[in-house]
Chains A and B, each alone.
Chain A
Amino acid sequence: MATKIFKHLHSTVVPVHIENIDTDQIIPARFLKATTREGFGNNLFRDWRFDENDNPKTDFVLNNPLYSGKILVAGKNFGCGSSREHAAWAIADYGFDVVVSSFFADIFKGNALNNGLLPIQVSDAFLRTIFTAVETDPHTEIEVDLEKQLIKLTVTAEQEEFEINPYKKACLINGYDDIDYILSKKHLIEEFETKA
């Protein structure tokens, strides 16, 4: 089955300048009761975005009209904690196509890639550069080129290469799906089972 395709992106960014953002913050457990993949974006960062009466908290960046875009930038160790894929669904459903951080938790990274959401790991220094640029000028634009594995600040042309597993890169660019790939090895799976 084809999945979402990602090649390049040019967008403004939303900075969430906090470290160790765990998946309970991205999507609290009480919203995991849905049985479909849709609609989680409404509750993205729920308890940071809304108070107990569901009023938007004005000090949180997602409620700041100055910031918008398809790129979420966050502090290091993003997506730690629970394996809930609902975190990746919430971020994608809200409208982000890329998450930038200086460090990602493993399970989150995998979940993101399986949903056409590109996690880009940059150096601590480059992350600082992005935060400074965006916090100085909320209209700062960033360009992402997956084929060249490059992330660039449009105005200053400061850029950095990022790493991605070549297989997952091919999946994103072509919309390939892991299950189709493994199913193509079905004879090997059955052979493995008879040996075991």
Chain B
Amino acid sequence: MGNTLFDKIWDAHVVSKNEGFPDVLYIDTHFIHEVTSPQAFDGLRDRGLPVFRPKQTVATADHNVPTIDQHLPIKEALSRYQVDMLTKNSAEFGIELYGLGHPYQGIVHVIGPELGITRPGCTYVCGDSHTSTHGAFGAIAFGIGTSQVEQVMATQCLLQSRPKRMKIEVNGKLNLGVTSKDIILYIISKISAAGGTGYFVEYAGDTIRSLSMEGRMTICNMSIEMGARGGLIAPDETTFEYVKGREFAPKGNEWDKALAYWKTLYSDDDAVFDKVLTFDAADIEPMITYGTNPGMGIGVTQKTPATNSIGTDERSSYTKALAYMDIDDDAAILGKAIDYVFIGSCTNSRIEDLRQVAAFVKGKHKADHIIAWIVPGSKQVQQQAIREGLDKVFIEAGFALREPGCSACLGMNEDKIPAGKYCVSTSNRNFEGRQGPNSRTFLASPLTAAAAAITGCITDVREMLELENA
């Protein structure tokens, strides 16, 4: 029997295996940020332990950072304190920090790949559930809690039981206006926000293969939104091409050696998965969520489910979600007026996202009442956007290009959606209050978000694209 890609990487990282115990799994790189690390550093101090492998630990400040005037001290005292703690802890324990003001600063799941730290065949963890993003390179990457952050700091290992394996195949050509974000929102809407719990997912099929690395990252990023521990995609020429030449990518002989190994990283033809799901790309239209978990998504032209079509156990939760969103059941969502548009987060804040939005909004202008924020994923993305003149396009269209950070995805900084307001957001979670107390979130692709900013309401981006192509 053949091996899955997941098992090949996992097996290559098992330090110790004991019957009845979780495996001791070696972690190649540990990413840390300011929110989930301070208690772990305190734990080390209490135990009198150093960080075991500080050179394999990378820190950045992203969750709390402001996205305007980053050169000034952080105004909010608690945020400033938490970011200062990261600076102090990183210095004390000998960890490289890409903090505010550093040219590599950015969202942890954006900077790892763009610096060539994220590579095929490796293991990555971070005290952040969207660590699954790095799986796009054919790596095992997943989020952990702070006790585990401390564990990895202390030992460079994690005690972890092997999850089950799921394969999700998507085949066929994508329709006009449909992006990788729509693929993953579609999959989650089909299998629910808990459909992947207990599994590690491998995404396969020719549709997935046809995606760029950034498109693949968007898919893997949201694996956690179906409950999966992580998601990964077998590396191929697209992957190798992306990694090659990046700051920390292997060079010379090291590159040749790494490449030879990376080419062995795929699931064997006779590999057995615990579960296999197959989807047809032709069935996917631009997606939008209407409820308060990422599984509550529909094609933008569809109606919300009728309450009586929901199982009795789930009905009260369904009604609660619609009441929170002030949305009717069995009703169209197209044309619903919105107030904010947020283009950013570790899901959709990379240069291709910004290019796609710029190309779409060029020559158009946002609706008067809309506040539209574009928050690049990193300093490097921001600089690239400026070099390409995208900032001017955004300004002319009435969008603000801000500075990098997690921003309105979770509103730990000042970027919050006010109570009762609607935001079409390219982020990953539409939970109650996620973007600010009592805010209301519609998750969508950057294209659908940009279209909503122009029209001021939920819009079928295909109609606008067809007009342009006509």
Contact = CB atoms under 8 A, between A and B. Distances in A.
Interface stretch (A18-26, A63-71, A147-155): A18-26
A157 interface: no
Contacts of B145: 83-85, 88, 107, 110-111, 114
Interface in B135-150: 143-148, 150
Contact of A167 (B20, B127, B434): B20
A83 B225 CA distance: 11
Given A22-B431, A33-B81, A84-B36, A181 B194 contact: no
Contacts of A110: 144-145, 148
Nearest to B155: A182
A107 B411 contact: no
Contacts of B128: 82-83
A56 to B, nearest CB: 16
A114 B229 CA distance: 17
Contacts of B20: 166-167
B345 interface: no
A178 B293 contact: no
Contacts of A179: 47, 150-151, 154-155
A35 B81 contact: yes
Interface stretch (A5-13, A135-143, A184-192): A184-192
Contact of A80 (B46, B143, B193): B193
Which residue, A80, A104, A189, has most C-beta atoms of chain B within 10 A?
A: A80
A47 B438 CA distance: 8
B412 A30 contact: yes
A189 B193 contact: no
B229 A106 contact: yes
B227 A186 contact: no
B322 interface: no
Interface string B212-252: 00000000000010010100000000000000000000000
A75 interface: yes
A76, A188, A189 interface centre (most CB from chain B within 10 Å): A189
Contacts of A77: 193-194, 197, 227
Contact of B198 (A28, A32, A106, A192): A106
B150 A81 contact: no
Given A124-B313, A166-B20, A181-B159, A188 B227 contact: no
Contacts of A84: 35-36, 145
A47 B437 contact: yes
Contact of B432 (A24, A178, A193): A24
Contacts of B292: 20
Contacts of B175: none
A103 B197 contact: yes
Contacts of B197: 77, 103-106
Interface string A152-189: 00000000000001110000000000110111011011
Interface string A28-45: 111011111100000000
Given A47-B432, A52-B438, A85-B145, A192 B227 contact: no
B82 A114 contact: no
A2 B229 CA distance: 28
B422 to A, nearest CB: 18
Interface in B276-330: 292-293, 295, 313-314, 316-317, 320
Contact of A178 (B146, B151, B295): B151
Contacts of A114: 145, 147-148
A17 interface: yes
A14 to B, nearest CB: 17
Given A24-B429, A107-B144, A185-B24, A19 B314 contact: yes
Contact of B147 (A19, A28, A47, A178): A178
Nearest to A37: B39
A18 B320 contact: yes
A128 to B, nearest CB: 8
Contact of A111 (B42, B147, B224): B147
Contacts of B78: 33-34
B124 interface: no
B410 interface: yes
B70 interface: no
A76 B198 contact: no
Nearest to A3: B147
B155 A85 contact: no
A36 B433 CA distance: 24
A18 B431 CA distance: 13
A103 B16 CA distance: 29
A41 to B, nearest CB: 15
27 contacts: A1-B46, A18-B316, A18-B317, A19-B314, A24-B431, A24-B432, A25-B431, A29-B63, A32-B35, A32-B412, A33-B78, A34-B78, A35-B42, A35-B81, A35-B85, A36-B39, A77-B194, A83-B127, A103-B197, A106-B227, A111-B145, A111-B146, A114-B147, A165-B22, A179-B154, A181-B21, A188-B16
Interface of A: 1, 17-20, 22, 24-25, 28-30, 32-37, 47, 52, 75-77, 80-86, 88, 103-107, 110-111, 114-115, 124, 128, 165-167, 178-179, 181-183, 185-186, 188-189, 192-193, 196
The list of the 8 closest CB pairs from A to B, nearest first, reads A85-B145, A111-B145, A35-B38, A83-B143, A33-B78, A114-B147, A77-B194, A83-B129
